Structure 1
Amino acid sequence: MSSTEATNKTPVVAEKTNTKSAREESVLQVERRDFVDLVPEKRPRAQSLRGFDDCYTDIVDYIVRCTHKIWDERDVGLIYTHYTHNCVLYNALGTMYNREQVVHDTLQRLVAFPERRGMATQVIWNGNDVDGFYTSHLVTGTGRHTQHSHLGKPTQRTFVTRTVADCMIHENKIYREWVVSDNMSVMKQLGLNTDVIAYDMAKEQFDKGFRVTDIGENRRMVGQYPPEMECDVSIAHTDTEEQCLRWLHEIYNRRMLGKIKDVYAPNVQWHGPLLKELYGQAAVIHQTLALIGMIPDGAWMPQHICSNPCDEGGTKVAVRWIMEGHHLGYGELGKPTGERLFVMGMSHYHIVKGKIIDEWVVYDHLALLAQIKLGQMEE
């Protein structure tokens, strides 16, 4: 099953609405709570969780607590009870097709960064314990490179990074997951040669027989027609989600970057790849243009969207998306190479009174650089 097909089977929450339900009222939110309040010891179960371990009180508690147990408490074996044997994990340069691969990858990462701590920044979710849950978990990671690993000898440098993990969960087990990390930022903070690392990543894929598939046009425009005026909003569950998809289609596919001044607040904060922290509409326009300009024929395609009313006011929206095109413009990846590029991205938005006041976006320039090198190896 393709990721797109999987997306179409994700849990559906009822009618399109913006009303905060009792179900969502009782579920924990991350932003204002300390960690001990997110994984409470004596809190009664606040949400129906058929088939989940007794320690979990709601779906946010589940994803925060089990992530902490696996990564911070080093209970890696918990993966055996929290992932199905045939789980599929997607990232920007490769896919894992079973639970044992997830265990192996987790062990390797812990070897390199034993001091790493992943702090939940946001969890946006939908679904229920009958159809299954979908969670989008934004994590801010900190640590230090202290051990010999696949990255070579330790540099002793510290790092900060952002990761988003989208999970499909049923009865205590994750059966499909999408993970996007800002790996380029980490490598730069550690002082490592990103060209060498990207080459090694590409060589590993090349030796396994993987190749970049260039399918030509990406259907953003058909023939000599302009981009479609209207976007497909069938994956939206609420009016806010539908409106958000329309905004993003207008900006990314129709290239109407002036729309940003209409839908972003003047004091918007933008938290982006390479650990950029920027402020204001002009910064958002510039950084959005930087991605589109690097892949000027790129088609932006949403894969999943979910949202929750927010204790801080307004609504938090999570969008998983891809962009496909070719490296035809200058940018963070240097001189255009013409190679096919596939961007897997995650965006979280905080929308208040019809304006975006915060955006967190994660995609990985290191994976894009590795794709370029993989295409060059094939040539």
Structure 2
Amino acid sequence: MSSTEATNKAPAVPEKNSVKALKDEPVLQVERRDFVDLVPEKRPRVQSLRGFDDCYTDIVDYIVRCTHKIWDERDVGLIYSHYTHNCVLYNALGTLYNREQVVQDTLQRLIAFPERRGMATQVIWNGNDVDGFYTSHLVTGSGRHTQHSHLGKPTNRTFVTRTVADCMIHENKIYREWVVSDNMSLMKQLGLDTDRIAFDMAKEQFDKGFRVMDIGENGRMLGQYPPEMECDVSLAHTDTEEQCLRWLHEIFNRRMFGKIKEVYAPNVQWHGPLMKELYGTAAVTHQTLALVGMIPDGAWLPQHICSNPCDEGGVKVAVRWIIEGHHLGYGELGRPTGERLFVMGMSHYHIVNGKIVDEWIVYDHLALLAQIKLGQMEDA
């Protein structure tokens, strides 16, 4: 049994200070369950959760239930009991450094989109209640733009977008979080001027004194040597995770795009930025080339990986990654500007019989456009 499979089983001993023994059943999985089955009222605790509120039965229940309470039930104040006072929240164009900033940011988003509903698409996790948990929560959000906000007057248009939130959790509190949303897709669906929105985002950062740090080298190659044949797999916990990291290194850093046809199933489904829904290895190759082509000197670096055996068969893997490079190629961002770019990305993979049958990938073109405009402000 792999370490991930082991952590996905209920522990054999009762939780400390618990009156009742833990029920011997696996941690919840999201994909085939209705919402009410993900947040059951009378389900006994199945996983040791020292320090967590009594209502949570396992770590998936925790992340789905508290997200719903905060965003859909409007109990924003739960952030005070579910985040540490000095939590750090990272996104592609800025970082929040304390809990009160998280509260204020949540309020602003609720004001703009009060009808938005964020539906859990899947939760991939690892860890335990001693060392801490890590969850990667893919959310499909839909709603309507009905209120005046930082985006201007309401458009009354509907939208659907994807977001991934990766959280580090210990004793009921999130102490570090990475959030990536497909904001370019949202703005386009609302019919807003993406150039203006990106400029406003950049101007806000510029006025606060933030500047682009371009160190030139990004580490993809050492001097005049080619990219490394082998990748660092120290992040991996299982053979499947190690293999996934090797595939991604070969594709993104060694530019061996033919690998896609080898490791993706012929009928793969690809769920990507701008809410694209594509099929087959040719489409995956095209979209991968589109990303790398915009940043042709980009270095791909994994930051975290976790996985769980899947009720549907196979394994689901979550990878948090970055690409650092420069806007030297054409694509969604227009004519090359040479500005430094930092891509924060999240990918979920469903791997069955050694092949990727589904990929969900989220990164934000709007944040990249804002980075370009921030660099241009500095150059002016």
TM-score bin, normalised by smaller chain: over 0.9
The 5 A counterparts of 1:246-285 are 246-285=246-285
The change in CA–CA distance for 1:365 and 1:241 in structure 2 (over 3 A counts) is: same
Q: What is residue 86 of structure 1 aligned with on the other side?
A: 86
User: What secondary structure does 2:258 align onto?
Assistant: helix
> Could you tell me whether the CA contact under 8 Å between 1:167 and 1:177 is conserved in 2?
yes
CA positional deviation for 1:15:
6.7
Q: What is residue 238 of structure 1 aligned with on the other side?
A: 238
The change in CA–CA distance for 1:211 and 1:28 in structure 2 (over 3 A counts) is: same
> Could you tell me whether the CA contact under 8 Å between 1:17 and 1:239 is conserved in 2?
no
Spell out, residue by residue over 1:234-259, the C-alpha distance to the aligned partner (whole angstroms, 9 max, x if none): 00000000000000000000000000
Q: What is residue 123 of structure 1 aligned with on the other side?
A: 123
> Could you tell me whether the CA contact under 8 Å between 1:18 and 1:240 is conserved in 2?
no
**Inter-partner Cα distance in structure 1 for 2:3 and 2:239:** 6
TM-score between the two structures when normalised by the length of structure 2: 0.95
Spell out, residue by residue over 1:346-371, the C-alpha distance to the aligned partner (whole angstroms, 9 max, x if none): 00000000000000000000000000
**Inter-partner Cα distance in structure 2 for 1:359 and 1:145:** 28
Gaps of 5+ in 1: 1-13
Spell out, residue by residue over 1:166-215, the C-alpha distance to the aligned partner (whole angstroms, 9 max, x if none): 00000000000000000000000000000000000000000000001001
CA positional deviation for 1:23:
3.2
**Inter-partner Cα distance in structure 1 for 2:27 and 2:4:** 18
User: What secondary structure does 2:328 align onto?
Assistant: coil
The change in CA–CA distance for 1:121 and 1:97 in structure 2 (over 3 A counts) is: same
> Could you tell me whether the CA contact under 8 Å between 2:71 and 2:110 is conserved in 1?
yes
Q: What is residue 342 of structure 2 aligned with on the other side?
A: 342
Q: Quick one: which amino acid aligns to residue 331 of structure 1? A: G
Q: Quick one: which amino acid aligns to residue 36 of structure 1? A: V
Q: What is residue 4 of structure 1 aligned with on the other side?
A: none
> Could you tell me whether the CA contact under 8 Å between 2:8 and 2:27 is conserved in 1?
no
1:23 aligns with 2:10: yes
Count of aligned positions: 366
> Could you tell me whether the CA contact under 8 Å between 2:4 and 2:307 is conserved in 1?
no
Q: What is residue 194 of structure 1 aligned with on the other side?
A: 194
The 5 A counterparts of 1:91-240 are 91-240=91-240
**Inter-partner Cα distance in structure 1 for 2:64 and 2:235:** 26
Q: What is residue 366 of structure 2 aligned with on the other side?
A: 366
**Inter-partner Cα distance in structure 2 for 1:21 and 1:135:** 13
**Inter-partner Cα distance in structure 2 for 1:20 and 1:156:** 45
CA positional deviation for 1:21:
5.2
User: What secondary structure does 2:195 align onto?
Assistant: helix
TM-score between the two structures when normalised by the length of structure 1: 0.95
Q: What is residue 72 of structure 2 aligned with on the other side?
A: 72
Gaps of 5+ in 2: 12-24
Q: What is residue 60 of structure 1 aligned with on the other side?
A: 60
User: What secondary structure does 1:211 align onto?
Assistant: coil
Spell out, residue by residue over 1:287-309, the C-alpha distance to the aligned partner (whole angstroms, 9 max, x if none): 00000000000000000000000
Structure 1 segments (4+ residues) deviating >3 Å:
14-21
Identity of aligned residues (%): 89
